[in-house]
């Protein structure tokens, strides 16, 4: 069993950036509408041009920055995972994201 876990971890390790990116993007898909709704609620009393500007900053800069920073942060945490447990962590995170998607009725 240890050999299988270590082998799968060695397959995952070169792709950790993409795996972390997938996790972050999935979270943004699941919760992005709540973030956008929050800013929409805050800006509803302001003129249209300001609401559009806030939307552009939040969507373009905010989500882009969050994706970039959180991907790197998550990748570093996954790299710290003990060798054979990397596969288990990745699997558990995917299952957790699936549960979150199901609870938010996106599956």
Question: How does pLDDT run across 50-76, given as a tens digit for each residue?
Answer: 999 998 998 889 899 999 999 999 999
pLDDT exceeds cutoff 70 at 90: yes
Task: Give mean pLDDT, residues 5-20.
Answer: 90
pLDDT bracket for residue 82 (50, 70, 90): low
pLDDT of residue 98: 94
pTM of the complete model: 0.83
Domain range for 66: 2-103
The answer to whether the beta carbons of residues 76 and 13 sit under 8 Å apart is: no
How far apart (Å, rounded) are the C-alpha atoms in residues 107 and 105? 6
Total number of domains in the chain:
1
Q: Could you give the dihedral angle defined by the CA atoms of residues 10, 11, 15 and 19, in that order, rounded to the nearest 10 degrees?
A: -100
Mean pLDDT of the chain: 90
């Amino acid at each position: 069993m240890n050999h299988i876990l270590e082998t799968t971890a060695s397959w995952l390790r070169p792709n950790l950036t993409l795996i972390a990116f997938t996790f972050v993007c999935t979270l943004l898909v699941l919760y992005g509408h709540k973030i956008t709704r929050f800013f929409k609620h805050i800006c509803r009393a302001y003129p249209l041009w300001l609401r559009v500007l806030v939307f552009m900053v939040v969507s373009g800069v905010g989500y882009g920055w969050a994706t970039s920073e959180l991907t790197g942060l998550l990748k570093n945490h996954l790299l710290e995972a003990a060798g054979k447990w990397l596969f288990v962590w990745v699997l558990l995170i995917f299952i957790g994201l699936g549960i979150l998607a199901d609870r938010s009725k996106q599956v």
